[in-house]
Structures are given as C-alpha cells and as structure tokens.
With several copies, the nearest count.
Chain A
C-alpha cells in the first residue's frame, strides 16, 4: 500500500487530499507510480497534466521521479513551493 498526498492547486484539481493505492509489483519508482495512477484515474491524470514542474516527496523528503518506492511509502505530489 502506498499513500499519495496531494497539495495546493494539484489537490484542488484532483478533488481530494490523498489516495491510498496498491499498485502492482512492477511499480517500483515514482515515475512508474505516476504513470500507473494516470492510467487508473482520469481526473488525477488531468490534474497531473495541468501541473507543470511537479515536485515530489517520498516519506517527507524531496525526491525525483527516479526515486524507488517500497510498500508503506508516503508519496507527496505538489506544484512548485511558494512559501516565505
């Protein structure tokens, strides 16, 4: 099981704060998870497509699309940050 959290404009576009998914064992990276999620869920696919320069965190640490995933990981997806 992997929890996917969404923030800011991406959260609003996707219409939810988070989804918990159980992707097939072939999904071992963030890139593969994004690809798989887009195939599963048209609204999420559209929300991701509308979010250029997506930022990613795995277990609360900034990560790239290449980051590998393991059971129980928490993946966060969000637009570029604008704090400060």
Chain B
C-alpha cells in the first residue's frame, strides 16, 4: 500500500488525493472524505488548528498501518491543515483506494474515526471576536471505540 501523510499550513487541493491515488487499472474504488470548517449558523468566524509536530505524523502512520491490516487497500492519503482557516475551507482530506468499494468505504471511515480521537490536533473557534477551544465530542470517542470492540469481538 502506498501512503501519503502531510500536515500543511496552506489551503488543500481538492483533486490532489484523486490524482495521487490514481493507479491506472489496479483499483476500482476510491473513497475520499473531506472535512470543512462549519459556520454553525453564522456563529463561527474562523478556525485555528494547533498540532504536535512529529507525533502527529507518527500517529497518522500508525492509523494507516492498522487500516492496512484490516482491509486490502492499494493506497491511503491523509493531509491535515493547521493554522488559521476561514469558514468553508478544507481542514482534512482522507482518501483510500482499493479493489472493492466496501473496503474503501470502511477504511476511510475508520481512519477518520481514529484520527479524530488519537491524532494530536486541537481546534479553536473565533466566535464574537474571541477564540474558544473546541470540546471533544463523546460521539467521536464512541465511534473510535466501536471499531476496536468490533475487532476484539472476532477474537475467541
């Protein structure tokens, strides 16, 4: 499986994962997730993302390795933006290619669920001219835990 992991401070290119994963006949399916800055009914004016350089890339690499153990994948791409970004801008791209579509769908959702709960990124939102740290969601923790429970349920 080829992998591409990057943390960048500039806007993401929408077609880049598609181009990079393209393999001229090996894969039949590409699934791409793109996360964007929501305005929350006009409340949020901007988003700022901080991360832990070095650890971020290691965690992302470990998540892709786990995905590769679970599904037959041909390629996986994760690019996450950091710094300050405007409403509607892309925060993260996760894309995978596989021979079959169900593997690609599952792996892409898995990578996002683990990224959300393990990769050292922190968001703050500009609301009313002031920055507020975003709270972690319990639903994200549960989504990541569900993959691990599903895995252990298969063991004797």
A residues sitting closer than 8 Å to B (CB atoms) are 5, 7-9, 53, 55, 57, 60-62, 76, 78-84
Contacts and interface: CB of A to CB of B under 8 A. Distances in A.
30 contacts: A7-B122, A8-B122, A8-B124, A60-B52, A60-B54, A60-B58, A61-B55, A61-B58, A76-B55, A78-B120, A78-B122, A79-B122, A79-B133, A79-B136, A80-B136, A80-B141, A81-B117, A81-B121, A81-B122, A82-B121, A82-B134, A82-B135, A83-B91, A83-B116, A83-B119, A84-B80, A84-B101, A84-B112, A84-B115, A84-B119
A83 B79 CA distance: 12
A83 B115 contact: yes
Nearest to A8: B122
B118 to A, nearest CB: 6
Contacts of A55: 120
A81 B118 contact: yes
Most B Cβ at <10 Å: residue of A55, A76, A84: A84
Nearest to A83: B121
B49 interface: yes
A57 to B, nearest CB: 6
Interface residues of B, number: 29
B50 interface: yes
Overall SS of chain B's interface = mixed
A84 B35 contact: yes
Given A8-B122, A9-B122, A57-B52, A83 B133 contact: no
B133 A84 contact: no
Interface string B97-122: 00001000000000010011111111
Interface in B64-102: 80, 91-92, 101
Nearest to B141: A80
